[in-house]
Amino acid sequence: MKATPVSDNLIQLNRLGVVNAFLVREDDGFTLVDTTLSGNAGAIVEAAGAAGLPIVRIALTHAHGDHIGSLDALAAALPDAEVLISSRDAILLSGDKTMQEGERGEVKGGFPGAKTKPTRTIEGGERVGSLEAIATPGHTPGHLAFLDTRDRTLYCGDVFSTLFGVYTSARANPLFPLPYFATWDKEIELESAIELRTHEPAALAPGHGPVNIDALEQMDDAIAQSAEVAAKK
């Protein structure tokens, strides 16, 4: 696990160069955004300890295995930490892939589920410390992004990825197509990417790829290219 301080409020935790979690500094401790793959709880707790604060909250963007993989071990190690996820992805987190009323198609990608239940479910518009949750369905039905209202860093989960270029998950990056193949509904995903752009993030902190400062232009390009793909269908 590689821990990289990006700003005063943010430490990026990266596994194998591919999967991110983030420690977001708050007055009372860290909010951990996502947990990466299984087997990383010890390294995540250690990274927080090395930075001098406990993890007091775990906020999950969505229930895919590469984001919730270390949740059970973290919850065991941090019994007082809050665990937050949308009510929709909480169902997926419980291992239930049943589609809900009004949803088309089927969810894609790996949902190993977890024993851990959220201590609280959250929806778009609600706050998690300095973070504002933004409903961003598409990659999964209950995907959330988190905007740090102090510095406008956007924890965008898998709405955008920045590994080998900035892409929405509505269009396959030939060098890293995983987020695309694991996306439930490309049309809704593109709408969520457009929604996130309207929040004018100062930095993009995605589930996969480096933290991109000044990413607005690249977000515009990624959205335009995704829209082109959608229009051809």
> Min. distance of Cβ 183 from Zn ion in angstroms?
8
Residue 129 or 179 with smaller CB distance to Zn ion:
179
> Min. distance of Cβ 144 from Zn ion in angstroms?
12
- Compute the distance between CA of residue 159 and CA of residue 207 in angstroms, rounded to an integer: 9
Residue 25 or 208 with smaller CB distance to Zn ion:
208
Distances 224 to 45, 211, 217, 218 between C-alpha atoms, Å: 39, 21, 11, 10
Q: Using an 8 Å Cβ cutoff, are 31 and 11 in contact?
A: no
Q: In the complex, which residue's CB is closest to Zn ion?
A: 64
* Footprint on this chain of Zn ion (rule: CB under 5 A): 64, 158, 182
Q: Tokens standing for 177? A: 């197509």
> Min. distance of Cβ 49 from Zn ion in angstroms?
28
- Compute the distance between CA of residue 198 and CA of residue 154 in angstroms, rounded to an integer: 12
Residue 158 or 189 with smaller CB distance to Zn ion:
158
Axis crossing angle, helix 216-232 with helix 186-197, rounded to the nearest 10: 150
Residue 158 or 185 with smaller CB distance to Zn ion:
158
Residue 129 or 207 with smaller CB distance to Zn ion:
207
Q: Using an 8 Å Cβ cutoff, are 61 and 155 in contact?
A: yes
Question: Between β-strands 19-26 and 10-15, what pairing exists: parallel, antiparallel or unpaired?
Answer: antiparallel
> Min. distance of Cβ 12 from Zn ion in angstroms?
17
> Min. distance of Cβ 80 from Zn ion in angstroms?
27
